[in-house]
C-alpha cells in the first residue's frame, strides 16, 4: 500500500528529486532564493514498562527514528511546488517506513497588506491543531511523545494529513490582531499495517477512509503573547469484510472538536487543548451492532526556559473514551475488557537541551494510568496490557538544517 | 528614524530596515513589518514577491531586531518559520551569516528586505522608515 501511494506520486517525487539534485547548483545561482531545501534526522531510545505502547516485549528499544527531507520551489509570484519525504520508526505507535509526507502545489491566490489566501492541492498536512503539522518534526514539537488525548499515535496516519485540497486564509488587523482560518477536504490511504494498528490483526478485511473534512480558526490579539484557536473534524470510514473474517462490513464515524490556548512568554510558555470526540460504529463487530460514544480529554502544558539552551516541560494529559463512563465500569460489563481501557492519564516531565545550533537532545519521563490510547484501537489487547499503571522514558538526539 | 522608533520602544534602536532598490515602498508600520517577517504578507503592493533575509537566530542583531523592532521573541518567530518550512504551508526567510552578506543579498535581489545595524553602511539599498 505504501509503495502504491508512493508510486501514485512518483511524478511529484521525481520533480522533488530533481529539485534536490539542483540545490548545490542553485546555492550559487540566481534561483537560490526560489529554492529551499531542509531536513532533519533524529534517533532515540525509548523504554516502556507495563504496556505495548512501543513493542509487545516491553523492552528497551531504538524504535524512535525520524528522518525527513523537504524542498520548496517558487515557480513564480503566485505558485510554489513543495514536498517532504519522511522515514519513521515508532514500533507499535504507527506504521514504520518511508512515506511521502506532503507533496503539493501552493497557489497564493490573494495577498494584500492585511489579507493572504492560499490554496494547497495534493497531499497536505493537517494544520488544525497546535502541533498537528509538526508532530513528526522532532525539534518543532514540545516533547518526544505528544499528549495522546489529542495526538493519538494510533490514528497518526489518518490524522496527519490527506490527499485533496486545503485552504488557508490569514487576516491581520491593526485593531483586532491576527486571524487564521484553515479548511481541508481529503482522505488518506490506510495501509494494511495501519489497518492492523486501528483494527488489530484479526479482522482480515480492509479499512477505507472515505472523507475527512476539517476546519480551524486561530486568533492572536494585536501584539499579544496569547493565541486562541478551535477546530472541527468530521470523518467517515468503512470496513469491508475479508475472507474467513469474524467481523462484518461496518461504518465508522469519527468527529473531533478542539479548543486551544497558547501563551508564549519570554521564559514561560503555556499550552492547552481541550477535545471532545464522537465515535459511532455500525455493524463491524457483528451485524446489528451499534455504538455511539462521546469521549473527552485535554492537556495542560508548561514549558520554562531555564537558560537559552535548556527548556523544562511539565504536562498533564487526560482522556476518557466515554464521558458517561469515565471509570470504565460499563465498558467492563459490556465487553469484558478491564475498566482501565476506558481512560488514560499521562503525567510528563521533560527537558530539552540545545547542544549547538540545530542540534538538540530531548529527555522525558511519563507516568501513565489507564490504557485507552493504546493500539489496536477497536480490538484492544488486555493480555499484553494487564496493568493499569505503566511508565516510559525516552531520550532522542535530533539534528536539522 | 531613530527618533521615530524611540516613540514606541524604551530602547535606543540600532537596526535599519533595508530593501532592494526595486522596492517602491519607503515606509512601513511595525505591524506591517511584523506581518512581513512572520510571512503573513508575502507580496509588495505592486504584486511582486517579498524576499525576506535574516541573520542567524543567535546573532545579536537578529535578537535585537525581533525583540525591539518586531516585538516578538526570537524563539516565537523561529517556530513560525519552522512550522511553515516543515509542513509545506509556506517558506521561511533566507538566512545569511553576516551583516555584509545580508547587505549584499538585499542589494542584488529584487523585492528583498532585511535589517542591519546602523554601523553598517548601506548605500546600495534603500532604507525604510518605520512608524507606529
Confidence of residue B13 (pLDDT cuts 50, 70, 90): low
Residue A195 lies in a domain: yes
**A330 in Cβ contact with A318 (< 8 Å):** no
Compute the nearest-CA separation of A305 from chain B (Å). Answer: 11
Compute the nearest-CA separation of A256 from chain B (Å). Answer: 21
DSSP helix/strand/coil, A135 = coil
pLDDT tens, A70-97? 999 999 999 999 999 999 999 999 889 9
Compute the nearest-CA separation of B41 from chain A (Å). Answer: 6
**A362 in Cβ contact with A395 (< 8 Å):** yes
Residue A78 lies in a domain: no
Compute the nearest-CA separation of A78 from chain B (Å). Answer: 9
- A–B interface: beta-carbon pairs under 8 A: 98
Q: Is the pLDDT of residue A168 over 70?
A: yes
CB spacing of A357 vs B86 below 8 angstroms: no
B79: nearest Cα among A267, A134, A309, A400: A134
Query: In chain A, how many domains are there?
Result: 1
Q: Is the pLDDT of residue A60 over 60?
A: yes
CB spacing of B71 vs A223 below 8 angstroms: yes
**B85 in Cβ contact with B95 (< 8 Å):** no
C-alpha cell at B77: 518567530
CB spacing of B86 vs A70 below 8 angstroms: yes
CB spacing of A127 vs B48 below 8 angstroms: no
Cα four-point dihedral sign A366, A372, A377, A383: positive
ipTM for this model: 0.88
Q: Which of B29, B49, B112 sits opposite A77 (nearest CB)?
A: B49
Q: Which domain holds residue A286?
A: 40-62+109-400
CATH architecture of B2-131: 3-Layer(aba) Sandwich (3.40)
Residue A304 lies in a domain: yes
- Considering only A28-37, A128-137, A224-233, which range has the smallest mean pLDDT? A28-37
How is chain B split among helix, strand and coil, in percent rounded to 5? 35, 20, 40
Separation between Cα atoms, residue A336 and residue A357, nearest integer Å = 52
pTM attached to this predicted model: 0.89
Residue of A nearest to B51 (CA): A33
CATH number, domain containing residue A394: 2.40.160.10
pLDDT tens, A325-337? 999 999 999 999 9
Residue A84 lies in a domain: no
C-alpha cell at B96: 545569511
Q: Which of B49, B56, B88 sits opposite A84 (nearest CB)?
A: B88
Amino acid at each position: 500500500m505504501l509503495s502504491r501511494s508512493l508510486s501514485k506520486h512518483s511524478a511529484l517525487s521525481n520533480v522533488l528529486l530533481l529539485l534536490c539534485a539542483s540545490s548545490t547548483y542553485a546555492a550559487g545561482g540566481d534561483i537560490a532564493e526560489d529554492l529551499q531545501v531542509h531536513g532533519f534526522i533524529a534517533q532515540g531510545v525509548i523504554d516502556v514498562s507495563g504496556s505495548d505502547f512501543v513493542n509487545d516485549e516491553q523492552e528497551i528499544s531504538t524504535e524512535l527514528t525520524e528522518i525527513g527531507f523537504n524542498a520548496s520551489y517558487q515557480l513564480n509570484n503566485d505558485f510554489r511546488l513543495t514536498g517532504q519525504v519522511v522515514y519513521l520508526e515508532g514500533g507499535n505507535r504507527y506504521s514504520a517506513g518511508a512515506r511521502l509526507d506532503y507533496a503539493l502545489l501552493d497557489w497564493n491566490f490573494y495577498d494584500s497588506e492585511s489579507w493572504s489566501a492560499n490554496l494547497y492541492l495534493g497531499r497536505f498536512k493537517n494544520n488544525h491543531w497546535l502541533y498537528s503539522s509538526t508532530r513528526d518534526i522532532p525539534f518543532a514539537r514540545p516533547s518526544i511523545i505528544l499528549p495522546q488525548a489529542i495526538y493519538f499515535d494510533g490514528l497518526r496516519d489518518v490524522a496527519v494529513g490527506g490527499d485533496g485540497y486545503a485552504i488557508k486564509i490569514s487576516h491581520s488587523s491593526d485593531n483586532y490582531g491576527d486571524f487564521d482560518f484553515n479548511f481541508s477536504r481529503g482522505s488518506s490511504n490506510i495501509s494494511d499495517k495501519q489497518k492492523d494498528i486501528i483494527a488489530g490483526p484479526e479482522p482480515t478485511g480492509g479499512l477505507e477512509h472515505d472523507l475527512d473534512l476539517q476546519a480551524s480558526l486561530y486568533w492572536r490579539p494585536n501584539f499579544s503573547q496569547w493565541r486562541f484557536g478551535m477546530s472541527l473534524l468530521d470523518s467517515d470510514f468503512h470496513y469491508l469484510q475479508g475472507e474467513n473474517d469474524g467481523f462484518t462490513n461496518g461504518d465508522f464515524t469519527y468527529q473531533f472538536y478542539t479548543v486551544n490556548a497558547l501563551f508564549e512568554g519570554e521564559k514561560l510558555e503555556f499550552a492547552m487543548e481541550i477535545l471532545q470526540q464522537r465515535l459511532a460504529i455500525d455493524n463491524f463487530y457483528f451485524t446489528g451492532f451499534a455504538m455511539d460514544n462521546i469521549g473527552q480529554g485535554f492537556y495542560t502544558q508548561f514549558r520554562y526556559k531555564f537558560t537559552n539552551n535548556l527548556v523544562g516541560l511539565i504536562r498533564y494529559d487526560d482522556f476518557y473514551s466515554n464521558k458517561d463512563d469515565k471509570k470504565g465500569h460499563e465498558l467492563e460489563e459490556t465487553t469484558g475488557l478491564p475498566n482501565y481501557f476506558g481512560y488514560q492519564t499521562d503525567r510528563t516531565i521533560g527537558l530539552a537541551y540545545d547542544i549547538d545550533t540545530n542540534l538538540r537532545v530531548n529527555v522525558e519521563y511519563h507516568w501513565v494510568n489507564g490504557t485507552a490510547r493504546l493500539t489496536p484501537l477497536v480490538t484492544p489487547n488486555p493480555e499484553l496490557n494487564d496493568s493499569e499503571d505503566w511508565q516510559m522514558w525516552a531520550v532522542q538526539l535530533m539534528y536539522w538544517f | 528614524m531613530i527618533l521615530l522608533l524611540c516613540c514606541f520602544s524604551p530602547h535606543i534602536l540600532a537596526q535599519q530596515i533595508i530593501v532592494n532598490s526595486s522596492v517602491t515602498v519607503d515606509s512601513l508600520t511595525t505591524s506591517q513589518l511584523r506581518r512581513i517577517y512572520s510571512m503573513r504578507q508575502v507580496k509588495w503592493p505592486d504584486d511582486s514577491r517579498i524576499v525576506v533575509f535574516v541573520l542567524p537566530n543567535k546573532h545579536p542583531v537578529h535578537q535585537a531586531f525581533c525583540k525591539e523592532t518586531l516585538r516578538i521573541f526570537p524563539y516565537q518567530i523561529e517556530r513560525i518559520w519552522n512550522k511553515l518550512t516543515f509542513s509545506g504551508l509556506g517558506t521561511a526567510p533566507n538566512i545569511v551569516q553576516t551583516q555584509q552578506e545580508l547587505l549584499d543579498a538585499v542589494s542584488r535581489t529584487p523585492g528583498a528586505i532585511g535589517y542591519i545595524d546602523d554601523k553598517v553602511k548601506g548605500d546600495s539599498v534603500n532604507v525604510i522608515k518605520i512608524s507606529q
